[in-house]
Structure 1
Amino acid sequence: MHFHPGAHIRRALRPLMLALVLFAPAAHANGDAAFIAARDAFSAGNRQAFERHAAGLQSHVLASYIDYYRLRLDLDRASPDRVAAFLEQHAGTLVAQRLRSDWLRQLAKAERWSDYRAEYALLPQSSPTPEADLRCHALRARLDAAEQAALADAKLLWATMDEPPSACLPVFAALFDAGRLTEDEVWLRARRHMEVRRPGQARSTLALLPAAAQPPAGALDDIVGNPTRWLDRQPANFSITRRGRELALMAIARRARSDVRGAERSLEVIAARFSAEERGYAFEQLGWQGAQQHDTRAVQWCRSADDALQGEDALAWCARAALRATNWKMVRDTIGRMPQALAEKPEWIYWGGRARSATGHVDQAHAAWRRIAGEPHFYGLLAAEELDQPHRLPPQATAPSVDEIRRAEATPAIARALKLFELDLRTEAVREWNWAIRDADDRALLTAAHVALRHKLWDRAINSADRTTLEHDYSLRYLAPMRSDVEPHVHARSLDLSWVYGLMRQESRFITRAKSSAGAQGLMQVMPATGQWVAKKIGLNGYKPSQIADPDTNLLLGTSYMRLVLDSLDDHPVLASAGYNAGPGRAKKWRAARPLEGAIYAETIPFNETRDYVKKVMANAVLYSLVFGQQNSPALKQRLGTIQPGPGALPDDPI
């Protein structure tokens, strides 16, 4: 018999090794619990509790977050050396980016502009772009150094930033004081703020003007609250000042949002008091709001605006009004007046092509469509069909190897994101994931998508695969998870599988616990009231609102609602998609008094969210049909069809 000391030691250590194996998951879970507790203490500003829970987390995968929380609690009294040490230790991480942004705000608050300039130069200027307040602080720091080019950059910011934070106001004041902003520009910007119900922004903008030119206290809020009453109370001589006329125009524009014909009557009474430009602006507003309300006079109001038709929203809606009237010459001319960035959007490239084709310029139409044909979106698909090009998926990229996936999974940023998802800290997890793939090439993006797939993070798989530029995997872009659960519901209600998946992709990206700000829940984003209504309709006895997020119950309610909406809306998927998102009553209301091309109906939906939603759902359906290999699947134009006039909403419509 031979004595083997190694075997003897292994036998002796076996109980200890077993204990370590059993202890590891518990320690792991305890570490996660401690992290959550430390994070909560940080959020509450409780330094003592934070340190108690943070002790022992130095080796946790999220240890960098603990370091960030600790420094963030002390940032108002931290030394530059301590901040620099943190940034060096965590260079290239999301928490370093966040800390540098926080530190920059601290420097701006203290007006340490020289230090701000030096630190801002180290902040990445893309992927992602610095936040608006940091950009404005940077301009203020440059103005403090008397850098002349800063004024030109500030003017560019003025022209491109729709919702400037308060940090931008000193920069804009410097522009005005330097004579780089005119009174006309200030009033034009204030008009745009009031158009979208931002009286606070308008007030801040108008504060640039001399005190005598500014509106009286409360005037802007009164105009937003009750524009008709405000107009009725104006003195006979209101128009002798620029301020009086501008406020009256704002009131007319505001009234037009809810009562465009009433706004027209208000304008008729006082139109002679305005300059030609001011009258043109009033008609621009009538045209814009009338087009959104599908008023038949919108085309005439847009024409009456003449050269004052300049706002991007107004131009887009005047083009839509012309589309709805099938006035192709006006469609072409209105698109021709759009700023280049707006005219280059796929929708206006496509409709510009349609307008040219309808007015006898077929070669120009084909040239326009070729620019976007085949792109994976609503208008790319329609352009391809105009050119008789069949829809085909791009070549499938080679799948990453198991080793590639494991290596990606082990990279620190992806590992942090996965842990945050595991801890149900979804907002932080998505930020970390996006940071991890911000500069990734196609191969790395597809590998990240496979990592997400492995962890059933369907939305991250789609998001990552969706970003590739040359190598593509449409089975990841148009992922169809839980198909064995979805198909029975689809078949039971005689629905189109590709349309159902196209809608689910848009609704939730297959996040089973997704919850919208409005309260919609689950895979199919069913509203609680809708869930109860559908449960009653289909005889789902014993249904409780708490069941709405259960995936199978959510699929039952969602697909049943799709069927009910489809049945009530001429069995038309465009109307049903609009109805699913905004309510069947609205989908019916948006029909025209005559038959309307489905694509025109979709493009003229008044709600921005629903318009975008319907176009994406319908395009998704085509692309899913390709991924599923469905033979003889209808083309997009065939799916869109024609929208027929019809009666109003169902009396028991739940939305």
Structure 2
Amino acid sequence: MHSKFYRFFFRVATSVSLLISVPLWAGFSEQQSLFMDIEKSLKRGNTDLYQEHRPSLKGYPLRDYLDYLHLITRFDDTEQSDINQFVVRHPGLPQSKQLQYRWLSSLAKNKRWDEYLQAYENMDIDGGRYQCLKGVALFQLGQEADAWKEAQSLWLVGKSQNKACDPLFANWKEAGMLTQSLSVTRFWMAVSEGNTTLARYIDRRISQPKYKESTQLFWRIHKKPQLLTSTPLLNGSLEHHRTIILHGVKRLSSRDKNKALDVWLKLRNKYPFQPKQIASMDRRLAMKFAKNFTDNAEAQIARIDPSYEITEVTEWRIRLALSKEDWDSVLNLIQELPFKKQQDNRWVYWQSVAQLKANGSLNPFATVVSKSNDEKQRLYSSDALSELSQGRSFYSFLVADLSKQPFQMNHVDASYGDADLNRLESKHQGFARIKEWLDLDRVHNAQSELNLITPKLTLHERKLLPYLAQRMDWHHQAIMSAARESLWNDLDLRFPNPQSQLFSKHAKKRQLDYPWVVSIARQESAFNVRARSYVGARGLMQLMPATAKQAAKKAHIRYKKVSDLYHADTNIALGTTHLAWLLKRFENNKVFATAAYNAGSGAVKRWLRDRGDLPLDIWIETIPYDETRHYVQNVLAFRVIYSQRNNQVVRMFSPTEAASLSLAPVRSPLIVQRSD
């Protein structure tokens, strides 16, 4: 009697709660509010609200998601047929795959091993954890031979396996199935993948002298890679010499790259290394010299690649020549690049600059009337620069800036109409769910839906996808999809400004150039408010929590927790504060401040100390971090584009910055003297 009363009371209470909760979901429709109420109750394990109000959501795109939540709350009363039926009914629903994973985990947790095996074999399941549980199930059901096959397959990898494998491995080892040979095989697999922690763990199980000799040698070289210089150490017929040498040379190159190169050149022809191994180590060592700008870098690289076979290394040899302003070497090295690579804007620019500099031209954009050989060369360079200035890239804008020519946007309007987008949207139910997830600010769910839809699209439909994302105000996805489909010329698509008022407000408050701030955010996150990098940077301007905390303290901005960085207003406020601090630190030089926003002020100070007296365009070209060099060039070019789209007259460089470029009529070196 009491239980019936309480059930009745709860149903009335939840119904009343529903009625009063709808206004609480500010900015959402009645159906959206009902959806979120039911979702919340299901996640708490209560199904009453779902059962009572599910019919009210007929036709609502996300009702299937609630069906999924309802099903996983009652696994104790669920059969395999229920799972199969849901998956068949919802083949395009991301949660169908999640349901299968959850179902397998539930079966394993409740030791329903026979059902687990049947379910596993009938599902398209990825992931080591579930294969581990399959092995456990086989063992528990007495199918030991099959269980040991699974165990061996899972064991022979160069990485640590999921903890779900531990019981299987324990039983496998206890049965005496783990042999010395298998342990040795995994040891070298781990070493090849750079997993020395796992290799050390595996080595404890290796005891036979014929195997131990090799592993002990490995650890000696690992600890003291300079022992590679001792030829007798590598005599004999020990296996895995190639792996030991490659590992040792890598370790040694971090301590003494000159010695590492001597060892490598001595040993690379002595042992039967694979071509890929030689190419990889050659590149690694060459880059060590190039990116450190050592005095002997070119000479050492020439020992590695005398025939200019590694294109990336040749490009860095050009940068080394640029850092010395050795224009003849720049010209000669560019000729060593593959012809197609020579046509890149980057090398067209530097070839033209080098030709002009080598010929002593002070004004490359002046009209030349006479036709001496030097003047013809100058004309050729000027023509190449003039043609380059008609493009839309960092180097094109750089030339346009120098020649005081207007920037060319070369915008091409979309060739698709609403009818095309409507047809695509109606073809896949997932798009309706995407729109709803975006309305609810659940970008992760929207992305999961799109990941399932994209492989099903035709080539033509994939070209439409960025425009559909744009119509949904999903600007981050529009930008990323446009890049994947090489839709480079539709600037409306590629350069939106969805938070224009916030950027304008905070740029003005910090006295920053508005297009510059927008360009930083465009490069950092492509306007994904929920963006999070692998190192933990968050939000529109990709702030690290520690940086955000410092900025908040400096500017007295309210910042309590890391999740605040996903709020656009807070993120932009903190990001512009940090950017303003960097700009002041680097004496109002946007180039250096931009580089510091990406690489950190310490790295930029070091580069300025080493090469701060170089022309600014050479300094940018010789940034050692590939990501930062690309970042700086993109931000500078994006700033021009956003300025033009905002009807602002702008040059890419300030007068002071422009005066320090290679082709400036009277160059003024730019050295930042400011200290911490």
TM-score range, shorter chain: 0.5 to 0.7
Q: State the Cα distance separating 1:276 from its structure 2 match.
A: 12
Structure 2 residue corresponding to 1:599, chosen from 582, 593, 617: 617
2:496 counterpart residue number: 479
CA distance in 2, matches of 1:637, 1:356: 25
CA distance in 1, matches of 2:449, 2:657: 37
Does the 8 Å CA contact 1:38/1:54 hold for their aligned counterparts?
no
2:27 counterpart residue number: none
Q: Which amino acid aligns with 2:290?
A: A
Q: State the Cα distance separating 1:26 from its structure 2 match.
A: 9.2
CA RMSD of aligned residues (A): 5.5
1:644 counterpart residue number: 670
Deviations 1:594-634 (A, max 9, x none): 52233322222222222222221122111111221212444
Deviations 1:265-302 (A, max 9, x none): 67679988998999999998665313212334323433
Does the 8 Å CA contact 1:238/1:245 hold for their aligned counterparts?
no
CA distance in 2, matches of 1:244, 1:471: 49
Structure 2 residue corresponding to 1:495, chosen from 512, 537, 548: 512
CA distance in 1, matches of 2:228, 2:305: 30
Q: State the Cα distance separating 1:220 from its structure 2 match.
A: 6.3
Deviations 1:163-200 (A, max 9, x none): xxxxxxxxxxxxxxxxxxxxxxxxxxxxxxx9997999
Q: State the Cα distance separating 1:648 from its structure 2 match.
A: 7.5
Does the 8 Å CA contact 1:239/1:273 hold for their aligned counterparts?
no
CA distance in 2, matches of 1:33, 1:427: 18
Within 5 Å, which residues of 2 pair with 1:13-32?
Answer: 23-24=56-57, 29-32=62-65
Within 5 Å, which residues of 2 pair with 1:70-149?
Answer: none
Q: State the Cα distance separating 1:478 from its structure 2 match.
A: 0.6
CA distance in 1, matches of 2:228, 2:526: 51
Does the 8 Å CA contact 1:199/1:221 hold for their aligned counterparts?
no
1:439 counterpart residue number: 459
CA distance in 1, matches of 2:451, 2:267: 53
CA distance in 2, matches of 1:379, 1:390: 14
Structure 1 residue corresponding to 2:394, chosen from 378, 383, 386: 378
1:391 counterpart residue number: 407
Alpha-carbon distance change, 235 to 274 in structure 1, aligned in 2, over 3 angstroms: same
Aligned partner of residue 566 in structure 2, secondary structure: coil
Q: State the Cα distance separating 1:552 from its structure 2 match.
A: 0.8
- Structure 1 alignment gaps of length 5 or more: 1-18, 84-98, 107-193, 201-211, 651-655
Structure 2 residue corresponding to 1:624, chosen from 629, 637, 642: 642
Alpha-carbon distance change, 220 to 77 in structure 1, aligned in 2, over 3 angstroms: farther
1:263 counterpart residue number: 257
Within 5 Å, which residues of 2 pair with 1:274-423?
Answer: 287-305=286-304, 307=306, 310-339=309-338, 343=342, 345-360=344-359, 361-362=377-378, 365=381, 374-382=390-398, 390-397=406-413, 401-412=417-428, 414-415=431-432, 418=435
CA distance in 1, matches of 2:565, 2:307: 50
Alpha-carbon distance change, 529 to 39 in structure 1, aligned in 2, over 3 angstroms: farther
Range 333-342 or range 262-271, more displaced = 262-271
CA distance in 1, matches of 2:630, 2:615: 17
Residue 515 (str. 1) matches residue 509 (str. 2): no
Deviations 1:22-46 (A, max 9, x none): 80269654421334677999xxx99
Range 634-643 or range 539-548, more displaced = 634-643
CA distance in 1, matches of 2:252, 2:228: 15
Q: State the Cα distance separating 1:427 from its structure 2 match.
A: 4.8
Aligned partner of residue 353 in structure 2, secondary structure: helix
Structure 2 residue corresponding to 1:536, chosen from 538, 542, 553: 553
Does the 8 Å CA contact 2:228/2:245 hold for their aligned counterparts?
no
Q: State the Cα distance separating 1:449 from its structure 2 match.
A: 3.6
Q: What percentage of aligned pairs have identical amino acids?
A: 22
CA distance in 2, matches of 1:367, 1:47: 78
Q: State the Cα distance separating 1:551 from its structure 2 match.
A: 1.3
CA distance in 1, matches of 2:268, 2:417: 70
- Structure 2 alignment gaps of length 5 or more: 1-51, 105-114, 132-190, 198-209, 360-376, 662-668
CA distance in 2, matches of 1:222, 1:582: 35
1:462 counterpart residue number: 479
Q: State the Cα distance separating 1:221 from its structure 2 match.
A: 7.1
Q: State the Cα distance separating 1:505 from its structure 2 match.
A: 0.8
Does the 8 Å CA contact 2:356/2:378 hold for their aligned counterparts?
yes
Q: State the Cα distance separating 1:534 from its structure 2 match.
A: 0.9
Does the 8 Å CA contact 1:395/1:472 hold for their aligned counterparts?
yes
CA distance in 1, matches of 2:592, 2:303: 33
CA distance in 2, matches of 1:240, 1:338: 40
CA distance in 1, matches of 2:220, 2:80: 47
CA distance in 2, matches of 1:285, 1:416: 47
Does the 8 Å CA contact 1:319/1:330 hold for their aligned counterparts?
yes
Q: Which has the larger radius of gyration?
A: 2
Does the 8 Å CA contact 1:409/1:415 hold for their aligned counterparts?
yes
2:230 counterpart residue number: 235
Does the 8 Å CA contact 1:378/1:615 hold for their aligned counterparts?
yes
Structure 2 residue corresponding to 1:569, chosen from 574, 579, 586: 586
1:151 counterpart residue number: none
Aligned partner of residue 459 in structure 2, secondary structure: coil
Alpha-carbon distance change, 396 to 49 in structure 1, aligned in 2, over 3 angstroms: farther
CA distance in 2, matches of 1:345, 1:38: 56
Residue 62 (str. 1) matches residue 92 (str. 2): yes
Alpha-carbon distance change, 311 to 247 in structure 1, aligned in 2, over 3 angstroms: farther
CA distance in 2, matches of 1:634, 1:244: 54
Does the 8 Å CA contact 1:352/1:368 hold for their aligned counterparts?
no
2:180 counterpart residue number: none
Does the 8 Å CA contact 2:226/2:252 hold for their aligned counterparts?
no
Does the 8 Å CA contact 1:267/1:282 hold for their aligned counterparts?
no
Aligned partner of residue 611 in structure 1, secondary structure: helix
CA distance in 2, matches of 1:31, 1:244: 58
Alpha-carbon distance change, 256 to 319 in structure 1, aligned in 2, over 3 angstroms: farther
- How many residues matched? 513
Aligned partner of residue 67 in structure 2, secondary structure: helix
CA distance in 1, matches of 2:94, 2:262: 65
CA distance in 2, matches of 1:36, 1:513: 24
Q: Which amino acid aligns with 2:623?
A: I
CA distance in 1, matches of 2:69, 2:53: 24
1:612 counterpart residue number: 630
Deviations 1:540-598 (A, max 9, x none): 35644442222111111001000011111121111111111121111111123452233
Q: State the Cα distance separating 1:218 from its structure 2 match.
A: 6.7
2:66 counterpart residue number: 33
Does the 8 Å CA contact 2:657/2:670 hold for their aligned counterparts?
no
CA distance in 1, matches of 2:553, 2:353: 46
Deviations 1:97-129 (A, max 9, x none): xx7999xxx9xxxxxxxxxxxxxxxxxxxxxxx
Q: State the Cα distance separating 1:372 from its structure 2 match.
A: 5.9
CA distance in 2, matches of 1:540, 1:221: 52
